[in-house]
Structure 1
Amino acid sequence: MHSEVMPPSQLLAAFVREHPRVFVLTGAGVSTASGIPGYRDAGGNWQRKPPVTHQEFTGNEAMRKRYWARSLLGWPMIANATPNPAHEALARLERLGHVGQLITQNVDGLHQRAGSESVIDLHGRLDQVVCLDCSAIHPRSSIQASMLNANPGFATGAATVAPDFDAFNARDCALCGGMLKPDVVFFGASVPRPRVEAAFEALEEADAVVVVGSSLMAYSGYRFCERAHAAGKLIAAINHGRMRADALLHLKIDADCGAELTAIVGQLAH
């Protein structure tokens, strides 16, 4: 691993200069400054109960109702979140020609809202809901309104009393009556193969990899570092704490990703 003999932002700016087209891989740490909590602590361990799995969601009606009830309460936090300096800096790096492809493990859509264009949403988008029967895509905003109408008082009552998840009215597809699911990859499910292949193709064309705000504990993201390392491509990272890919890194900066990326943009823009 590279020895830090210069300020961290100068090290990473030099890394990007030496590798003009980078493959950027982002995780939950990019969005925490936007008010969206991450899943893991600095040691790579779960900070709270692990998320519901695909199998639990599709095979257990009570679990599905509980998910949608909690999602009804939590969606405004996602919908109202705004891009932070990390998102904005990555969008600026793309406009400067340094980012060939950005792969995000996040499902909040904040990279696109910040202006990034070459984005692959590896795990999908929470602002879309898919029908598992007819494959129709519904805007999350319309499903949110439908659930609020079907569960009057739930959003306000849940703040004062223990919610009755069993009585929650989860909505079905308005087109076919099928099961609705957020259009994201739940734990226990696989990323759609065409999405993975598109990311691998972008990785092949890149000069190097920069990981931002991810411990890479999930293999869905870690595999890109595995592939890059096998191909002899150098990997740099900005992330707090332990990473699954620590042994593969050429450069690691344990710091706030927004501040570091903003500093890097300032150096590369001149």
Structure 2
Amino acid sequence: MAYVPGIALLAALVTGCTGGSGTEDATTDAKPGSPTVSVAPPGKYQTLPEACRSVSTGTLKQLLPGLADLPADQQKAAYGGKASVTYDTDRKGGCTWQSRTADSTRTLVVDFERVVSYDPSVSDEDSAATVYGKKAEAVGLPAPSPSADDPADGPESGSDGGSASPSATASPSAGDGVAPQGSASPTTPATLNPTGNDTGGDGDGGATLAPRTLKNLGNAAFLDDALEGGGSAPQHRTVSVVFRTSNVVVTVRYAEETTDAAEVPESAELQEKAQALARGLDENINE
């Protein structure tokens, strides 16, 4: 199916993570006169956004156009998404939305993971970097070195250089005039600029198809574009954007499966929209 460039700007809604209160290393003494043991500082975030409220209805309408064609009594549930099963919503959370049209089925998945270190000498952020690194290696990318994703590196670490205070608390934001749960009033959602997205230039529709790292997204980020099917089977493309911001790892998966087996889901549109959503989530988390 043809992709029309210059998509409308996406607006992402995130209920903010709550920042930790500790900003300095803590120390403990087992006994008077015993050696002092340094304890790594806690992670910046102590809670997670509510995944099924993390994307505004306006954004879902752009990512999943088939939802707008559903009967009115079915739209509320469709836009509400399906929450992932989790036994600790402060540690993991996810949500899935799906729409169907005559041409294709589109699926959006957003996952949040707040990493906690059980080793007092290893910080939550370092543990999150390890989790992120394993995800990068799984798609054939090298895990970043500690210096490569250090917030002090500057602009490539995020929109604010990743230098926010560990005690900062992200402000809740909302889309379509609906306040997130626990918020006194809605705030303006982030506005995304597709021209700032990295779609490369050596693949389908101008998009780079090989897995690659992304700049200006969290402390570290990568994109993976996987196409399955072919022949008599429907073509299924999944674009995944994974990024780490402090001790939280976020995954955005945006997929399309075509009805016609001869029709290949276009990569450029999926990549552009997945990146735009990921950047909006990151901006809102770090507000």
Q: Give the TM-score band, short-chain normalised.
A: under 0.3
TM-score of the superposition, structure 1-length normalised? 0.23
Higher strand content, 1 or 2 = 2
Higher helix content, 1 or 2 = 1
TM-score of the superposition, structure 2-length normalised? 0.22
